[in-house]
Amino acid sequence: MSPRPRARDLGIHIGRLPSGRWNAITDVEGVRVGHATIVRGDGPLVVGEGPVRTGVTVILPHDGNPFLEPVFAGWHSLNGNGELTGTAWLDEVGLLSGPIALTNTHSVGVVHDAIIEYAVRSHPAGTVFWSLPVVGETYDGTLNDINGFHVRPAHVAEALEAAAQGPVAEGSVGGGTGMICHELKGGIGTASRALPADHGGWTVGVLVQANYGVRHDLRIDGVPVGRHIPVADVPSPYGGKRAAGPGTPGAGSIIVVVATDAPLLPHQCRRLAQRAGLGLSRAGGYGRNSSGDMFLAFATGNRGIPDISGSDRAGPGTTDVRMVLDDRVDGLFTAAVDATEEAIVNALLAADTMTGIDGVTAHGLDAERVARIMDAHGRGPDGPGRAIDAGEGR
């Protein structure tokens, strides 16, 4: 089966900045992504047996050992009906000291524990240390036996061992396996933007786990695509449910991870994370009451920051860091907004139709139909919406 097209394959170029080589979060030098995907069983739900449609995605912030070398980071909650562990300490010190993991709502604990176990093995024998991992979640219980607790420590280790630079698998993979977005099949998506040399030459990459939204709100590059794909034509996996709560339209969540190689300080990372909400809004996210919309940004432009334990440290107790001037960050903000919107679109385009528990089906977004809708609104390959300096990255 040939890979499903991404936004740029359809001539959709969001914003005017070019993408990086892979148009992925891994375009930020050293960032690595790994997935463990768990799919088995069909038919009626039998709790503890399946059907299973879930997994784990991990993001390693650089090419070294993230448990031993932290990077500056910050986070933002647009709406807090969700979980992103480790953020109290992140607020306190502004440092990310390990990988970021994404999974389903009821597997946060096992993933959290498994990362600590992996960290133990990453330290020299006998080292005394502590870890507060960052684990985010969205709810996949519409398609997955979420109360069967099918994510195991071995899956976390699998994702960590698989983490690599280069192209990133999207759609129904890893933590995004059972996710639904705008009443269509959602999941993992990614994109990047490269700033020109006279604006710093930095790269911004974004990865999303998209599991939010109602159909008629979906917009792509300003086009109301969702209105042209009504649920009467392409059925919703929610079967007409409209009450608030898990397993209903608009009740899901999204986790957005933003990476950059710019030398940002923690307060600037937090500001960068906030901008993901603007990209989400442009795609049709409204931060609904029952949605957990949480964003984290980290910056690798300062390397060699001492680990946070401070144990047995000699010397003057200071270290030198660099920062982008606050009045020069607008290009980074623009990049984060555009890459977030495109990452959501890529998540939708990459995801095939999936049937889960009790025969519930989330339909994949039809790329040919999207192309026709975009063309009709002047946003196709030759339309006025195409960026004149868009990059060639896929």
Whether 382 is catalytic: no
Q: How far apart are CA 189 and CA 66, in angstroms?
A: 23
Q: How far apart are CA 353 and CA 53, in angstroms?
A: 12
Whether 293 is catalytic: yes
Per the CB < 8 A criterion, the answer to whether 163 and 122 are in contact is no
Q: Which two tokens stand for residue 357?
A: 């528990």
Which entry of 19, 97, 236, 253 is annotated as an active-site residue?
253
Cis peptide leading into residue 51 (ω within 30°) = yes
Please report the sign of the dihedral spanned by the C-alpha atoms of residue 175, residue 179, residue 185, residue 187.
Answer: negative
Buried (b) or exposed (e) across 331-352, using 16+ Cβ within 10 A? Answer: bbebbbbbbbbbbbbbbbbbbe
Whether 311 is catalytic: no
> How far lies 93's CA from each of 113, 260, 307, 325, in Å?
22, 19, 11, 20
Q: How many CB atoms lie within 10 A of CB 320?
A: 6
The single-letter code of the amino acid at 315 is G
Buried (b) or exposed (e) across 29-51, using 16+ Cβ within 10 A? Answer: ebbbbbbbbbbebeeebeeeebb
Buried (b) or exposed (e) across 299-311, using 16+ Cβ within 10 A? Answer: bbbbeeeebeeee
- All residues at 6 or more sequence positions from 120 whose CB lies less than 8 Å from its CB, including other chains: none
Which entry of 27, 221, 261, 293 is annotated as an active-site residue?
293
Pair type for strands 253-260 and 184-185: unpaired
Which entry of 19, 131, 281, 291 is annotated as an active-site residue?
291
Residues belonging to the chain:
394
What positions carry a catalytic annotation? 253, 291, 293
